[in-house]
Structure 1
């Protein structure tokens, strides 16, 4: 398996210093790798421990936190529920979603249900509330660099993501059994959101689809974030920044007997954000693909139906 030669960038640099390198790797791969992101290593370690503890709970206990009709927006989604768009086999994964807490009566509350929390592990709520805030901060900094690369003001995305519908997903891929058939841990897909920040890609399996049609392995150094463009940013930039197809393949040999855990943070726009293609991303050679404007929530609901999370 060939490895994607994605440079490792430092988020310790200012957004202006980071912008051109970040823009170049996103245009080439749709992916970037970022170190020095500032998320506390001890907090991350505690989060991994709690993730493993939660998914080790009995299935009937986890199912108490399944909320029907919400598209998995909060709480627990069982094994083999989600399916990649166009796929025939459901993914070999289960997950938990943490979202943004809004004050009572907030304008966006109808599109963003309140969080639910498991009774155990005991520190679950505290740790993941803090980790969500840390991802939020790092994501906003990355978006500032993206804005500058696009010729926008550094703070252009700030109002677009204020009280945004971002989701922290805790993912568990159980050991792969012979009964899996043709299913894989995560079928080939693109992310729905603006950008995704991912912890946990050190464990082999994450691959992106290269321009030549070959699958390329992503191998970040320990603790680095893998960042990728989602469909919402691809739409906003008229495909100048591509949302690249990726998957999590099944392990072979001894590793098939081990669980895999990861934590993607899907950074979303405000639910009421209305898409309008950025003028600087429209040219004679790249005409506007999206002349009809829709809201971020309209787009999200359409995509949730496509991947089997909503009827």
Structure 2
């Protein structure tokens, strides 16, 4: 196990208009971090403890409900798009064993007459937990805004206008996923809390990586533990952005390992936000990311929705 060398950067260097030189340096450092790791920590993001803790409080209350109550919000055949997915369903691609987790999905709130309604169903909200909707969707919107800022910096890094992603993600099929990893009560089980995988989407913003367990696979083939400070949101590249940028930004393999000893008997909670493009966005390699040394790897474009459905089948959610 290597010591963590994954950078953590203060995004205020990018958002503060009074320091343009530092802004340029931030863009360069962020781009370098993603080229090397596909991961970075972001602090100075302005999402306060009251926002994150309020959301975690309602998420933990939901997961503590009886199984029969939680199953009221499970929609069979939906790929877990909204509501509750029970323990033992999701399986990392090419893994023989399911992950040790249960989770809930919150999607974007869109009008019923939206052209995306057929692939973006209405949210479900547990009536048993007071404030769930307000807390969950408040965190959703805060992470959506932060994700747009990070994408703006990355756009500049690869020679695009800062707002290039904005109208391509403003109706994105993005997902907030509160996860509960229950206590592990048996030793030497083959399952892990989350098997080695890459994310499907453009970028993922993880709130709650301050609990140990997240590991990132380095370019050298070493597993690097990344336990962030409590005020840090971990942001990583997903497969859609890897494809769009022709692997300039790699989608790095990561996992959540089982802790040792008595720590394994404790539950773990985390909440990733998977930022997606609009469903009809065409993922086609950006010309600025094609060079003689890095020829286009994907001759055929694919829509974001088509790619999502393909991948959901691979991880046994569809």
Query: If the length of structure 1 is used for normalisation, what is the TM-score?
Result: 0.98
| The one of 273, 278, 284 aligned to 1:276 | 284
Give the Å deviation of 1:180: 7.0
SS in 2 for 1:137: helix
Q: 1: distance between equivalents of 2:50 and 2:170?
A: 27
Match of 2:9 in 1: 9
Specify every segment of 5 or more residues in structure 2 that has no aligned partner in the other structure, as ranges.
16-22
Conserved? CA contact 1:3–1:219, under 8 Å:
no
Q: Pick which of 11-20 and 300-309 moved more.
A: 11-20
Match of 2:19 in 1: none
Q: 2: distance between equivalents of 1:271 and 1:177?
A: 41
Q: 2: distance between equivalents of 1:305 and 1:177?
A: 30
Give the Å deviation of 1:122: 0.6
Match of 1:161 in 2: 169
Conserved? CA contact 2:213–2:227, under 8 Å:
no
SS in 2 for 1:34: strand
| The one of 285, 309, 312 aligned to 1:304 | 312
Conserved? CA contact 2:207–2:270, under 8 Å:
yes
| The one of 75, 82, 89 aligned to 1:81 | 89
Specify every segment of 5 or more residues in structure 1 that has no aligned partner in the other structure, as ranges.
none
Alignment of 1:1-311 (within 5 A): 1-14=1-14, 16-17=23-24, 18-178=26-186, 181-310=189-318
Match of 2:18 in 1: none
Number of aligned pairs? 310
RMSD value, Cα: 1.1
Q: 2: distance between equivalents of 1:87 and 1:265?
A: 23
Give the Å deviation of 1:179: 7.0
Q: 2: distance between equivalents of 1:302 and 1:87?
A: 17
Q: 2: distance between equivalents of 1:167 and 1:232?
A: 15
Q: Deviations over 1:31-59 (max 9, x none)?
A: 00000111122111111111111101101
Q: Deviations over 1:197-236 (max 9, x none)?
A: 0011111000001111111100211121000000000000
Q: 2: distance between equivalents of 1:80 and 1:50?
A: 22
Give the Å deviation of 1:74: 0.4
Q: 2: distance between equivalents of 1:234 and 1:208?
A: 16
SS in 2 for 1:208: strand
Q: 2: distance between equivalents of 1:262 and 1:283?
A: 38
Q: 1: distance between equivalents of 2:224 and 2:187?
A: 27
Q: Pick which of 121-130 and 190-199 moved more.
A: 121-130
SS in 1 for 2:93: coil
Conserved? CA contact 1:147–1:154, under 8 Å:
yes
SS in 1 for 2:302: coil
SS in 1 for 2:310: helix
Conserved? CA contact 2:102–2:179, under 8 Å:
yes
